[in-house]
């Protein structure tokens, strides 16, 4: 018995538009085939089952056209609601969650036990493709506690760290086995054995992109990109270089600080391009990767003038 896929009639114009989009993707397919792309999926871009499903489809699409996607996920809002359920207070300072030892247990539980599992199972609806790894597994990350300066004051963030080393060999082996690694941003504390650190997921994605010599770092969030005058929505920056980003970084607010710092570190660390895109638009990642105009804000070491 043969299976018939129902065909939906479309106008000649619409059909031509689809064909042109496919053709526009050709140079990008050629350029990215066989390269590593690190995709940071932020908790604020996971807000609906439809968005999560579309994200999983995009990642699988990248894999099937020969790109090597590596997913680093966040889960900030999911951590906040779990902490609330447990009656544990948490606050953000300078874009980072102040994390007590008690809160750290919840952070790890939500990232590795909930968000990561959900993403793996969504991707695996398309086949046995994804496997999760925590930054604590097999020496993937080591971290060191960090402090931040807020209004001239040094703030102790508790169990929060920077990634100080990455051993990406296990992730590479997974890529060689044609798997899609899904990574949680938790790291062992190198100075306090036995302790774990809460790593901002943008920072973890950037460190991994550098270690894997990724061709691109794509960060999905809940805004169109970086606005020059936040919250003025007409001030979206489509591209900027590292020097310009370094100049405006101190003026940025809340979640954009770790995000833009991550982009800066990535391009300074040899990743050719970092992009912030709107994860609220279904399939924005495909547009970013496979169309000439991309979407959102792109950061490169030096803009071609
Ligand atoms: N200049 C800016 N441009 C865009 N967003 C900004 C800017 N400054 C602050 N923001 C805030 O940063 C948020 C994104 O960071 P965050 O909430 O940490 O996202 P995610 O969960 O995706 O990591 C935006 O929703 C916006 O409220
Ligand atoms: C230190 C720090 O702030 N860690 C983050 C880790 C998760 C994360 O980064 O999630 P998003 O990408 O969704 O924001 C947190 O606790 O929320």
CB of 72 closer than 6 angstroms to any ligand 1 atom: no
ipTM: 0.96
Q: Ligand 1 centre and the CA of 297: distance in Å?
A: 13
Q: Ligand 1 centre and the CA of 230: distance in Å?
A: 9
CB of 74 closer than 6 angstroms to any ligand 2 atom: yes
Mutate to test the pocket of ligand 1, among 203, 254, 263 (most ligand atoms within 8 A of CB): 254
**Is the predicted pLDDT of residue 10 greater than 90, yes or no?**
no
Distance CA 246, CA 261 (A): 8
**Is the predicted pLDDT of residue 8 greater than 80, yes or no?**
no
Q: Give me the mean pLDDT over the 261-270 stretch.
A: 98
**Is the predicted pLDDT of residue 227 greater than 90, yes or no?**
yes
In this structure, the residue with its CA closest to atom 14 of ligand 1 is: 255
- The number of the ligand 2 atom at minimal distance from the alpha carbon of 77 is 13
pLDDT digits over 100-152, tens only? 999 999 999 999 999 999 999 999 999 999 999 999 999 999 999 999 988 88
Q: Ligand 2 centre and the CA of 304: distance in Å?
A: 33
Contact present, 301 and 293 (Cβ < 8 Å): no
Report phi then psi at 70, rounded to 5. -125, 125
The answer to whether residue 256 is domain-embedded is yes
CA angle 44, 77, 253 (to 5 degrees): 70
In this structure, the residue with its CA closest to atom 6 of ligand 2 is: 200
CB of 227 closer than 6 angstroms to any ligand 1 atom: yes
pTM of the model: 0.94
Mutate to test the pocket of ligand 2, among 95, 141, 157, 201 (most ligand atoms within 8 A of CB): 201
Query: Which two tokens mark 293?
Result: 């105009």
Q: Ligand 2 centre and the CA of 272: distance in Å?
A: 25
**Is the predicted pLDDT of residue 6 greater than 80, yes or no?**
no
Contact present, 159 and 104 (Cβ < 8 Å): yes
Q: Ligand 1 centre and the CA of 228: distance in Å?
A: 12
The answer to whether residue 26 is domain-embedded is no
**Is the predicted pLDDT of residue 7 greater than 90, yes or no?**
no
In whole angstroms, what separates CA 14 from the centre of its chain?
A: 32
**Is the predicted pLDDT of residue 4 greater than 90, yes or no?**
no
Q: Reduce the DSSP state of residue 45 to 3 states and report it.
A: helix
Distance CA 99, CA 91 (A): 8
Distance CA 285, CA 170 (A): 26
Contact present, 165 and 196 (Cβ < 8 Å): no
What is the span of the domain harbouring residue 157? 33-300
Q: Binding site membership: which residues?
A: 75-76, 97, 198
Integer angstrom CA distances of residue 88 from 44, 85, 185? 21, 8, 20
The answer to whether residue 287 is domain-embedded is yes
pLDDT digits over 88-103, tens only? 999 999 889 999 999 9
The answer to whether residue 176 is domain-embedded is yes
With a CB cutoff of 8 Å and minimum separation 6, the contacts of 126 are: 56, 57, 60
Strand-pairing partners, residue 221, are: 278
Distance CA 110, CA 82 (A): 8
Q: Give me the mean pLDDT over the 215-237 stretch.
A: 94
CB of 253 closer than 6 angstroms to any ligand 1 atom: yes
Q: Binding site membership for substrate: which residues?
A: 75-76, 97, 198
pLDDT at 11 (0 to 100)? 86
The count of domains in the chain is 1
The residue count of the chain comes to 305
In this structure, the residue with its CA closest to atom 18 of ligand 1 is: 255
Distance CA 287, CA 301 (A): 22
CB of 252 closer than 6 angstroms to any ligand 1 atom: yes
With a CB cutoff of 8 Å and minimum separation 6, the contacts of 3 are: none
The answer to whether residue 250 is domain-embedded is yes
List the CATH number of the domain containing 54.
3.40.1160.10
Distance CA 264, CA 295 (A): 18
pLDDT at 305 (0 to 100)? 64
């Amino acid at each position: 018995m043969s299976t018939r896929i129902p065909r939906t009639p479309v106008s000649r114009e619409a059909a031509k538009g689809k064909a042109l989009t496919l053709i526009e993707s050709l140079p990008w397919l050629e350029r990215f085939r066989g390269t590593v792309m690190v995709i940071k999926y932020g908790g604020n871009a996971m807000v609906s089952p439809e968005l999560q499903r579309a994200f999983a489809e995009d990642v699988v699409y990248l894999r099937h056209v020969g790109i090597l996607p590596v997913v680093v996920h966040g889960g900030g809002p999911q951590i906040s609601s779990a902490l609330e359920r447990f009656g544990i207070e948490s606050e953000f300072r300078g874009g980072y969650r102040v994390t007590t030892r008690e809160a750290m247990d919840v952070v790890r539980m939500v990232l590795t036990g909930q968000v990561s599992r959900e993403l793996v199972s969504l991707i695996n609806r398309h086949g046995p493709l994804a496997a999760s790894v925590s930054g604590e597994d097999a020496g993937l990350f080591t971290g060191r506690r960090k402090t931040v300066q807020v209004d001239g004051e040094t703030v102790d963030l508790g169990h929060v760290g920077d990634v100080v080393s990455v051993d990406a060999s296990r992730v590479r082996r997974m890529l060689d086995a044609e798997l899609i690694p899904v990574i949680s941003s938790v790291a062992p504390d190198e100075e306090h054995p036995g302790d774990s650190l809460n790593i901002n997921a943008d920072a973890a994605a950037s460190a991994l992109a550098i270690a894997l010599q990724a061709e691109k770092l794509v960060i999905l969030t809940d805004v169109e990109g970086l606005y020059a005058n936040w919250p003025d929505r007409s001030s979206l920056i489509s591209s900027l270089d590292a020097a310009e980003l370094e100049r405006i970084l101190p003026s940025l607010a809340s979640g954009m600080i770790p995000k833009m710092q991550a982009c800066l570190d990535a391009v300074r660390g040899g990743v050719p391009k970092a992009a912030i895109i709107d994860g609220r638009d279904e399939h924005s990642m495909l547009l970013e990767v496979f169309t000439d105009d991309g979407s959102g804000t792109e950061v490169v070491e030096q803009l071609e003038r």
